[in-house]
């Protein structure tokens, strides 16, 4: 461990030397080459850390609990796993507003963790091997701030994007990770307890995953602020406030339409369209793929995204056509054939209806810009 004094920019924005100086230290951890997860929690003060193995506290040096430091001190968690050769791969970086220091989570309601995940293409969380009792009764609320990622629930894969809220139950096999090209940033909270289990039954939210595009960022920010000021003296008050905010999210999630609980179906339909946008895809193909009636597909898709599947297909085809016009020298006729329009006239009319200009005008105007 090597420490040396140095200058830094403190949290108030004033440049200068801190009371204890500024240093960098190297922590070496030798781990076996088994496929289990490790997490290293470190507040922004040196000589304090806590090591978790598969979510369980295993080792602590100093006092890494940010409650013991001034309010401006942050706490980050870096998770990683070794491969069969002992190489370490990082899961990404997270900043906690609150982390429950107790190993036992009992009672009617409990907050396990609350935090923000920053974009990192290496980020991965695997809850399929967690063995503690509490982890089988935890509910995970997450909101995607930016970017994209994937959630695997019982080996089914769902794609999530900026603006998506999703809720997971750890009674199911869960694994979630960033998109490699556009890694997400998200804000999240993990909660448990008897009341949460009863609430899920009351709201009929007992599936492993529920996804919905909805604006709940402000509610998550309020939860983060509440958790960040929690200590032993105000914990009952904070728990009550957070619980009320979670109820607000559940009301928003379930209050719009009956098919909201089938939101994953809508997202799978959207992903199917995105993956086959250059095919001659239509409502019949979607119905045959997912074994739903056409009326059900239209109703749930429109409720989730505000437009019908047909309108979404047209929008995606026009977006694809824009890229082709700018990035290739393909003719309008060739593009219309590739995207399965009836003919180039039909393509040009649809393009102009969506954008206000013809395909050739778009190529000339945008290309020059």
Q: Using an 8 Å Cβ cutoff, are 66 and 23 in contact?
A: no
Contacts of residue 163, defined as CB under 8 A and 6 or more positions apart, other chains included, come to 144, 213, 214, 215
Residue 32: Cβ within 10 Å count: 7
Give the pLDDT of residue 349. Answer: 94
Q: Using an 8 Å Cβ cutoff, are 108 and 195 in contact?
A: yes
As a whole number of angstroms, the distance between CA 114 and CA 192 comes to: 12
Contacts of residue 151, defined as CB under 8 A and 6 or more positions apart, other chains included, come to 157, 158, 160, 166, 168, 174, 175, 176, 209, 211
CA dist list (Å): 363 to 94, 117, 323: 43, 39, 10
Average confidence (pLDDT) over 336-361:
93
Per-residue pLDDT band at 24 (split at 50, 70, 90): very low
Query: Tokens at residue 235, please?
Result: 């914990």
Q: Using an 8 Å Cβ cutoff, are 52 and 62 in contact?
A: no
Of 104-108, 181-185, 186-190, 257-261, which range is least confident? 257-261
pTM of the entire predicted model: 0.53
Give the pLDDT of residue 121. Answer: 82
Give the pLDDT of residue 295. Answer: 84
As a whole number of angstroms, the distance between CA 37 and CA 238 comes to: 30
Is the pLDDT reported for residue 256 higher than 60? Answer: no
As a whole number of angstroms, the distance between CA 347 and CA 336 comes to: 6
Give the pLDDT of residue 327. Answer: 87
Average confidence (pLDDT) over 151-172:
87
Between 57 and 201, the more confident residue is: 201
Sheet holding 124-126, edge to edge: 124-126, 174-178, 148-153, 156-161
Give the pLDDT of residue 216. Answer: 94
């Amino acid at each position: 461990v090597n420490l040396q004094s140095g200058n830094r920019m403190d949290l108030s924005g004033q440049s200068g030397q801190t009371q204890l100086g500024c240093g960098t230290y190297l922590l070496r951890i030798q781990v076996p080459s088994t496929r289990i997860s490790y997490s290293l929690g470190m507040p922004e003060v040196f000589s304090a850390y806590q090591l978790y193995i598969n979510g369980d506290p295993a080792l602590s040096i100093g006092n890494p609990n940010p409650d013991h430091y001034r309010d401006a001190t942050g706490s980050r968690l870096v998770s990683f796993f070794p491969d069969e050769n002992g190489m370490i791969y990082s899961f990404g970086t997270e900043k906690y507003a609150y982390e429950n220091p107790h190993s036992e989570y009992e009672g009617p309601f409990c907050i396990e963790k609350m935090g923000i995940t920053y974009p990192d293409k290496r980020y991965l969380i695997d809850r399929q091997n967690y063995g503690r009792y509490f982890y089988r009764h935890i509910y995970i609320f997450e909101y995607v701030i930016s970017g994209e990622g994937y959630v695997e629930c019982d080996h089914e894969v769902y794609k999530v994007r900026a603006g998506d809220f999703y809720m997971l139950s750890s009674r199911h096999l869960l694994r979630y990770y960033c998109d490699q090209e556009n890694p997400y940033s998200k804000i999240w909270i993990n909660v448990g307890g008897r009341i949460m289990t009863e609430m899920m039954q009351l709201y009929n939210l007992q599936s492993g995953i529920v996804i919905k595009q909805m604006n709940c960022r402000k509610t998550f920010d309020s939860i983060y602020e509440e958790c960040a000021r929690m200590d032993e003296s105000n914990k009952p008050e904070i728990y009550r406030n957070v619980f009320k905010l979670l109820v607000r999210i559940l009301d928003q999630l379930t209050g719009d339409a009956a098919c909201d609980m089938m939101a994953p179906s809508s997202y799978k339909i959207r992903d199917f369209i995105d993956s086959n946008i250059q095919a001659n895809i239509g409502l019949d193909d979607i119905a045959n793929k997912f074994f739903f009636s056409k009326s059900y597909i239209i109703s749930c898709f429109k409720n989730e995204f505000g437009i019908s599947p047909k309108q979404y297909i047209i929008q995606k085809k026009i977006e694809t056509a824009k890229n082709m016009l700018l990035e290739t020298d393909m003719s309008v006729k060739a593009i219309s054939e590739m995207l399965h329009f009836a003919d180039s006239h039909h393509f040009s009319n649809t393009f102009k209806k969506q954008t206000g200009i013809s395909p050739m005008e778009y190529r000339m105007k945008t290309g020059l810009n």
